[in-house]
Amino acid sequence: EGLRQWCLLTDFGSDGYQNLTSRDLRRRRREIDEIMEDPKRLPYTDLFDKKVSKVCHDYLVAHPSPTDLLGKAFFGSRNFIAERILLTMIDPWGHTQLPEVFNLGDKYLHWQVTMRAPLELICTWKLEQFSVKGCTMMAYDPSLKKVYHGNCFNVPHGQVDEGQLIKMGMQLHVKYAEFLVNGMIDELESVATTPT
């Protein structure tokens, strides 16, 4: 729910909080309240989580920047390789070097870092030719020892529920997102157990 509200409030990262006046925020919150009343108008959002081992937990909480570990594990995992290769072929002169540090404004492939906190990273993307934009979120909750991966994009749930082809595409997306969170966990566990 928080990811969806962040996307609606910032127009999927296009407008950072620093760019919004208090008047803009009040107006957007009223618009969000109207959208929230009709579930078919809500943007598609998903969230997946998986528990990490004690060794991985200890590694994440001891690291000075768990956010960077999450970003590197997600985009650098074996499960992400096919997407990385495909996106690199589409735009070989783009931002293809996996960052060591994910700073605000940094780009990797089609994502741009638009929100960064000590335990959370949100990267936004746009496919302007299809008028689709969205975000990918990675986070860690030390109290629950869980890693999270979520997505939100500006396709209303009403559209997702209508066509059979869209439903099948979303089912495939869900399976792929679960596959990616498993890859992120595998990568984090591997890094945490590899001696330095």
Task: Give per-10-residue mean pLDDT for the chain (196 aa).
Answer: 75 69 80 77 87 96 96 97 90 86 93 93 86 91 96 76 77 93 97 85
Q: Which amino acid is at 143?
A: S
The DSSP annotation for 20-58 comes to: --HHHHHHHHHHHHHHHT-GGGSEEEEEEEEE--HHHHH
Question: Which residues make Cβ contacts (< 8 Å) with residue 103, sequence separation at least 6?
Answer: 113, 116
Structure tokens at 189: 């566990």
Task: Give me the pLDDT at residue 15, please.
Answer: 67
> Which position has the token pair 């618009």?
31
Task: Give me the pLDDT at residue 168, please.
Answer: 85
Task: Give me the pLDDT at residue 77, please.
Answer: 97
Nearest to 4 by CA among 34, 49, 30, 36: 36
Give the pLDDT confidence of 133-186 residue by residue, as tens digits. 899 999 999 999 999 999 988 876 666 667 777 778 888 989 999 999 999 999
Alpha-helix runs per DSSP H in 37-155: 54-62, 66-76, 81-90
Helix (H) or strand (E) holding 118: none
CA 46-50-53 angle, 5° bins: 160
Task: Give me the pLDDT at residue 49, please.
Answer: 94
Task: Give me the pLDDT at residue 161, please.
Answer: 65
